[in-house]
Structure 1
Amino acid sequence: MQSFQDINTASLLETLVSLVAAFILGGLIGLERQYRQRTAGLRTNVLVALGASIFVDMASSLTGSEGAVRVVAYVVSGIGFLGAGVIMREEGNVRGLNTAATLWCSGAVGACTGAGLVIEAAMGTLFVLAANTLLRPVVDKINSQPLDVQSAEVTNTVYVVTSSERQKEALALLEKELEDLHYPTRDLEVHPFGGENVKIEATLAATSVNGAVMDLIVEHLAALPMVRQAYWSASTTE
């Protein structure tokens, strides 16, 4: 009963304002993500914003601003682990980075509301939405341009996973497949992959390749009986 006797109406009102703001602002960010059918949509972004707001508000009520600052640091790292859960690697491509970054920003918005910085949280929400919407055409425009190989070094790598017993056979077939299509290898590396498998990494000498041709190569390799998995990726460095 002591908890009911210690109720502070003014403090409860501030908490209510913080939670409502976190709910609305996190919902705005989540709506954009839900519309694009991303992994972390409306409910996830709202919950992240609310959770951050609750933690910061609680710390502020118990220990003041110094305690709130310490909790904010833990909230940032905690949401980082949550964001890592939505990042996926599929066939050499990393997906979900933007979704993870958006969750991180939702947490920051929630932390602002928990600290009573509602105006700052609203401003942050607007900039997050702008980054996810207004910058999209710019990114699409840049990605549609041909790669300038003079300003960026491109490395194309083909990966083949096979059993240790059939490593030499798979290696010879990989080299032959690439050379027949005029994509000679610059470097070949073999790494252990699991208990009984190995992963062959064939780095191509060519800096520019035809993506459709590379897709056909890995599709043909993946169909071979000794190949467990085949994919390719391209990376650039400034």
Structure 2
Amino acid sequence: MRFLQTFQLQDFLDTFLSLFTAFVLGTLIGVERQYRQRSAGLRTNVLVAVGAAAFVDLAYHLASADGAVRVIAYVVSGIGFLGAGAIMKEGTNVRGLNTAATLWASAAVGACAGADMVAQSALLTLFVLAGNTLLRPLVNAIDRIPLNAHVSEAHYEVSVTTDPDRAADVRDVLTERLEAASYPVRETKVVHRSDDHVEITATLVSQAADPAELDTVIAELTKDPGVSHATWNVSALE
């Protein structure tokens, strides 16, 4: 039996230490993700870390450092497919990027553990946890800062409401008013809200606009007899 011929207690203990380290550190990352109810929680992060450690450890024992390096390269690219499954796009909103990045970092933790770099994998775990916890107050503080339309690149839309019979004419008026104000239109969308109301939305090419100028355009649009309501909004780019 080949197992009895090749089994070495020292190598087995080395593998055990690598997998145990990946399991413990993956658990630390996974607990934080599970607490925040992320799609990739405790078990996923543990399995990613342990799996990466197992592949790197196996390659290291079969082909030494050169083999481990090649496997690490495949782990880096392969984990991207798993991360892609955690990313969801809902309209203009993208969710799961942080979860995918955490899975990528968990794989790095496991790869370090598999390469017997226990101290480095522990250090990396601390940085991952710090990124997901200590930086949250800073992220929340930045998100609460109002968007400065003068200096920020953003997504601008101007919307008007009219009746279906005048939709074509109002769309032309909307485009003309915006272009006269030096805000060319990238595209327009027509949405039928009801039998009596149609909403026409123009997306601007410009990624920086003067709110006062857009307010002036809105004021001019509301004077048109075919426009019952007009407004504009700005949102951050993806």
| TM-score, reference length from structure 1 | 0.72
Match of 2:185 in 1: 187
Q: Equivalents in 2 of 1:4, 1:208: separation in Å?
A: 77
Q: Is 2:109 the counterpart of 1:104?
A: no
Distance 1:208 1:14, change over 3 A: farther
Within-5 A mapping of 1:35-114: 35-114=35-114
Match of 1:9 in 2: 9
Between the two proteins, what is the percent identity of the paired residues? Answer: 55
1:122 maps to amino acid:
A
Unpaired runs of 5+ residues, structure 2, are: 159-163, 190-199, 212-232
Q: Equivalents in 1 of 2:122, 2:108: separation in Å?
A: 11
Q: Deviations over 1:119-171 (max 9, x none)?
A: 1000000000000000000000000011122331222358xxxxxxxxxx799
Q: Find the residue that maps to 1:148 and give its secondary structure.
A: coil
Is 2:178–2:184's contact at 8 Å kept on the other side of the alignment? no
Q: Equivalents in 1 of 2:234, 2:53: separation in Å?
A: 40
Match of 2:31 in 1: 31
Unpaired runs of 5+ residues, structure 1, are: 159-168, 192-199, 210-231
Match of 1:224 in 2: none
Distance 1:145 1:3, change over 3 A: same
Match of 2:128 in 1: 128
Q: Equivalents in 2 of 1:151, 1:52: separation in Å?
A: 43
Q: Which moved more, 1:144-153 or 1:85-94?
A: 144-153
Offset, 1:102: 0.3
Q: Find the residue that maps to 1:203 and give its secondary structure.
A: strand
Q: Find the residue that maps to 1:156 and give its secondary structure.
A: strand
Q: Find the residue that maps to 2:86 and give its secondary structure.
A: coil
Q: Deviations over 1:200-222 (max 9, x none)?
A: 9831478488xxxxxxxxxxxxx
1:234 maps to amino acid:
S
Q: Equivalents in 2 of 1:170, 1:43: separation in Å?
A: 57
Is 1:27–1:42's contact at 8 Å kept on the other side of the alignment? yes
Match of 2:143 in 1: 143
CA RMSD between the two structures: 3.4
Question: Larger Cα Rg: Structure 1 or Structure 2?
Answer: 2
Q: Equivalents in 2 of 1:88, 1:171: separation in Å?
A: 38
